[in-house]
Amino acid sequence: MTETNIYDWVGRTATVSATADGERAARLATLLGRDGDRAAPLFPLGHWLHFSEDDVPMSELGTDGHAALGGFMPPVPLPRRMWAGSDLTFHTPILPGQAIERTTTIESITEKTGSTGPLCFVKLRHEITADGTLATTDRHTIVYREANPVPDGSAAKPPRTDSPAPEGWDWVRSVRPNEVMLFRYSALTFNSHRIHYDHPYVTEVEGYPGLVTHGPLTATLLLDAFMSTHPEAAVTKYRFTAKSPLFANEQIHLVGRETEPGVHELQAIAPGGRTAIAATVTTKN
């Protein structure tokens, strides 16, 4: 029997198509707490609403709710998966009604050892076109790790205690994603990862203290907060890295400051002051 080599997946590509949906864009705006305009350009991260990694038949889902590995994605022998970060370049806005296409290439696979044990990083390059013109380049990193042992019984815990808003930033916005927001975001992005909605699974199987707030949801809230405080700025690049998880009903401080003309440092800060997401925005004023 031939042993599977996960590195054989490097260079594989796949292309999917859709139509930019103004109604989905308006629902994202509703989720973010503002009025949605079905005719307006999509939010810069709007392609996430149209292309789901979990858009496969039920029979092709793994036990965690994600699409099972070994198809397009390499059969990494580590069961836990998280969104580690993205590096996005926005070339041109996407308009409702445009024909959009995403071509995904597996750029690299890297195995490492961290404090929790073996890790495997899979880097994907998504190129999204709108009516044939390159609109967004999205380099997405996924990290896989071993399953941590879970004590007998549920590992559920109450949300961590709120912390004061941090100082030293140009602006601060505080949010508290709850179970309803997590459900709506999962539905909007067709994300079936069970850590975001299945409380017994996330606490008793994966050992988290509560439902995990989606990394891309927090990244969306962070970018939206920046855009709300800089309405005239045109975002050209957005890069973020997930540092630690956040959980439903916890207060998140979204903060930002300009570090040089057109470059802004952003963070999503968890209770206790720990950075959950570190990000950089580049603008063309």
pLDDT greater than 80 at residue 1 = no
Q: What is the pLDDT of residue 183?
A: 97
Query: Which range (62-76, 82-96, 189-203) has the least confidence?
Result: 62-76
Both tokens of residue 283?
């603008």
Is the pLDDT assigned to residue 58 strictly greater than 80? yes
H or E element in which residue 182 lies: helix 179-189
Question: Helix (H, G, I), strand (E, B), or coil: what is residue 123?
Answer: strand
Residue 100 in contact with residue 18, Cβ under 8 Å?
Answer: yes
**Topology of the domain covering 1-148:** Thiol Ester Dehydrase; Chain A (3.10.129)
| Lowest mean pLDDT segment, chosen from 28-37, 104-113, 245-254 | 28-37
Give the span between the Cα atoms of 41 and 22, in whole angstroms. 8
How far apart CA 250 and CA 241 sit, in angstroms, is 19
To the nearest 10°, the Cα dihedral for 250, 180, 190, 210?
A: 40
Domain 149-285 has CATH 1.10.240.10: no
Which two three-digit tokens encode residue 198? 């299945």
Residue with the bigger pLDDT between 22 and 4: it is 22
| Proportion of the chain above pLDDT 70, given as a percent | 98
Q: How far apart are CA 141 and CA 217, in angstroms?
A: 16
> What is the per-residue pLDDT for 285?
66
Q: What is the DSSP string of 210-256?
A: SPBPPHHHHHHHHHHHHHHH-TT-EEEEEEEEE-S--BTT--EEEEE
Supply the pLDDT for residue 153.
65
87: left (phi over 0), alpha (psi -120 to 50) or beta: beta
- Dist CA 20 CA 182 (whole Å): 23
Q: In terms of C-beta density within 10 A (0-12 exposed, 13-18 middle, 19 or more buried), how is residue 220 classed?
A: buried
Query: Tens of pLDDT along 118-171?
Result: 999 999 999 999 999 999 999 999 999 999 888 776 678 999 999 999 999 999
Q: What is the mean pLDDT of the chain?
A: 94
Question: In this prediction, what percent of the chain has a pLDDT beyond 90?
Answer: 89
Residues 6+ apart with CB under 8 A from 27: 36, 184, 188
Q: Where in the chain is CATH 3.10.129.10?
A: 1-148, 149-285
Task: Give which of 169, 173, 193 is closest to 183, Cα–Cα.
Answer: 193
Mean pLDDT of 47-69: 92
For the cut 80, the answer to whether the pLDDT of residue 3 exceeds it is no
